[in-house]
Amino acid sequence: MSNNKIPVMDSIQELADFWDSHDVTDYEDELEEVSEAVFKHKSLLKVDLQPDEIQTVKKIAALKGLSCDELIRNWIIEKIHAQ
């Protein structure tokens, strides 16, 4: 039996980083089998843009300190709420 405890985290990335540097066998006494999904995946939507449109989005995102995905998501949410 191990004295190690799996840390509680809200971030999938932090959890992935933890398991990248730790061995799951050190935590066997804390593991349990689950039948339902633990994390819900977001739905993805593909948006086709012309190369010049992509460059413009990248420039605007950089000026705002956002990723392109964040910027486009913000624009879509703004449009939805404006309806």
- Please state the domain extents for the chain: 1-39, 51-82
Structure confidence at residue 66 as a pLDDT band (50, 70, 90): very high
Residues 8-63 have pLDDT tens digits of 888 888 889 999 999 988 888 888 888 888 777 778 889 999 999 999 999 999 99
CA separation for the pair 52, 6 (Å, rounded)? 47
Query: Can you give the pTM of this predicted structure?
Result: 0.52
Contact between residue 46 and residue 23 where contact means Cβ atoms under 8 Å apart: no
Contact between residue 61 and residue 68 where contact means Cβ atoms under 8 Å apart: yes
DSSP assigned state of 14: H
